[in-house]
Amino acid sequence: MAAIFFIAISLLFLGISGELTKWFGWMPKFQFLPAVLAVNVGVILLLIVVALLFGRCYCSIVCPMGVYQDIVSWLSSKRKGKKMRFYYKKEIKWLRYGIWALFVVALIAGIQVFVALLAPYSAYGRMLRTLVAPASTGTIIIAIVTFLVVTILAWIGGRTYCNTVCPVGTTLSFFSRFAMFRPIIDADKCKDCRACEKQCKASCIDIANKKIDYSRCVDCFNCVENCKFGALTYGKAWGSKIAGQAGNDAGASNDAGVSNDQTRHARLDRASETSKVDEGRRAFIASSAIAVTAATLGAQEKKLDGGLAEIIDKQAPERTAPLTPFGSDSIKDFYRHCTACQLCVANCPNHVLRPSMDLAHFMQPEMSYENGYCRPECTKCSQVCPAGAIKPITPQEKTQFHIGVATVDRSLCVVERDGVTCGNCARHCPVGAIMMVRKDPQDRRSPQIPSVDETKCIGCGACENLCPSRPFSAIHVNGLQVHIKD
């Protein structure tokens, strides 16, 4: 299941999911922070209930950043003599809960830059996206720093990032410490060999005191698989008692252990088989991730006019207000809900969306029309947004929204002949909002110039993108603070 989530979400971020989007497009909506920002009460309650029943399995199965750390940790364990490399560490409470408190304050105050930096799902998306489609220098630097921090921590200490920095992991820890089902230590059978402790990538097993810190346990079951004496089992913890079992952080006693040698040997055999399957699963995840990354990397070709002359790239104009996608109610609403995961950027087939460099909305998407325009029939971004920043719309509904208004700078208009401008914007406007009119209505010989009907213009950017004027288009679109719907 972890492999399916990880590979599917990775393909979505890489923008090569194709038809798989229809099958796996729901997965980002089950990420914790996007569900919170979308006020998706059903998903939030489901994740909390799962944490109360089974602990932090979300971190090991659903969260792509968590699975990525497992891949790095697994690769690190393949080094000679490094298979049994973990040991119990006390949680750094002041750092863990300090970061969580700052995150909550930033979330409430709408400081999305800080939220986007720490959100694990969004951070993973930026890391992966930057590998295949580097954007601005700022986003590249942040992606590289995030990649190095997460990778180094996972290589050295397994789930250190999850249990120290990640605010989602800390949030779920409030519930996982009371989980009904969890790994259980039978103190009577424990031989203090510390095999479980040395395999615990969350560093949460304290064999000296026969305790497990369930707030940090991510239910990987490495401890159960590596216990040769049947002292560690996975079972019901609520209301059960076991002789010789030390207390745990949640204050709940543990379930009964293995009752006889036959049952114990059977469980050990099953654990051995599970371990082999788990090794294969991890290898499959690692190889798939490497293959996907390698397949999508490619050299950028230089754009030429007929292969002879280099085309001057268009530059973004100064807009009076930023453009946000069709399906977002307003600029304020869009940026309040957006997690900066850039899933919409990865899946935009027209290359209209890109990470913003504006400090107020840093790394969150913005629209610009240098490389394409927002085609009326495309609603891809509204289909993949997990946080409710872009609400689902149909192509029919899309043309009813007005996200911006085009403005003409006639001094930049390309003149073809006899003082007549090219009229490219008018010919390609999909809603007929641009007409060619005489500059001087009283003079029949007066050259024709473009005129915009603001009541019809929806802000799609076809005129701006297809305008032959370079480096700046003679017509550009300014965003509307509040989108209008007919």
Instruction: Among 256, 286, 303, give the residue marking a domain's end.
Output: 256
Q: Which has the higher per-residue pLDDT, 69 or 113?
A: 69
Element (H, E) at 61: helix 57-61
233 in the same domain as 125 = no
pLDDT of residue 403: 96
Q: Name the residue range of residue 452's domain.
A: 399-486
pLDDT of residue 265: 46
- pLDDT of residue 312 exceeding 50, the answer is yes
Say if 48 falls within a structural domain: yes
Say if 343 falls within a structural domain: no
Mean pLDDT of 329-347: 91
- pLDDT of residue 311 exceeding 90, the answer is no
183 in the same domain as 149 = no
Mean pLDDT of 313-323: 91
Are the C-beta atoms of 65 and 143 separated by less than 8 Å? no
Are the C-beta atoms of 168 and 119 separated by less than 8 Å? yes
pLDDT of residue 281: 41
Q: What are the pLDDT digits (tens) for 351-382?
A: 999 988 887 888 899 999 999 999 999 999 99
Mean pLDDT, the chain, integer: 82
Mean pLDDT of 208-229: 92
Percentage above 70 pLDDT, the chain: 82
Q: What are the pLDDT digits (tens) for 26-82?
A: 888 899 999 998 888 999 999 999 999 999 999 999 999 999 999 999 999 888 767
Q: Which of 287, 357, 281 is nearest to 316 (CA)?
A: 357
DSSP 330: B
241 in the same domain as 281 = no
88 in the same domain as 142 = yes
- The residue whose two tokens read 């689902």 is 392
- pLDDT of residue 457 exceeding 90, the answer is yes
Say if 78 falls within a structural domain: yes
pLDDT of residue 381: 92
Say if 345 falls within a structural domain: no
CATH number for the domain that contains residue 456: 3.30.70.20
- pLDDT of residue 296 exceeding 80, the answer is no
How confident is residue 416, by pLDDT bands cut at 50, 70 and 90?
low
Per-range mean pLDDT, top range of 64-78, 229-243, 435-449: 64-78
Mean pLDDT of 88-99: 93
Say if 263 falls within a structural domain: no
285 in the same domain as 168 = yes
135 in the same domain as 45 = yes
Phi-psi region of 461 (alpha: psi -120 to 50; beta: other; left: phi over 0): left
Say if 355 falls within a structural domain: no
β-sheet bridge partners, residue 452: 434
Number of domains comprising the chain: 3
Say if 392 falls within a structural domain: no
185 in the same domain as 166 = no
pLDDT of residue 275: 45
101 in the same domain as 213 = no
Helix ranges (DSSP H) in 89-247: 93-109, 112-118, 120-132, 137-157, 160-164, 167-176, 195-199, 222-226
How confident is residue 299, by pLDDT bands cut at 50, 70 and 90?
very low
224 in the same domain as 200 = yes
Q: What's the CA gap between 484 and 457, in Å, rounded?
A: 11
- Of 182-186, 281-285, 337-341, the poorest mean pLDDT is in 281-285
Three-state SS string over 265-316 comes to: HHHHHHHHHHHHHHHHHHHHHHHHHHHHHHHHCCCCCCCEECCCEECCCCCC
146 in the same domain as 37 = yes
Q: Which has the higher per-residue pLDDT, 282 or 436?
A: 436
12 in the same domain as 30 = yes
Say if 479 falls within a structural domain: yes
Q: Which has the higher per-residue pLDDT, 78 or 475?
A: 475
Are the C-beta atoms of 59 and 358 separated by less than 8 Å? no
36 in the same domain as 102 = yes
CATH number for the domain that contains residue 219: 3.30.70.3270
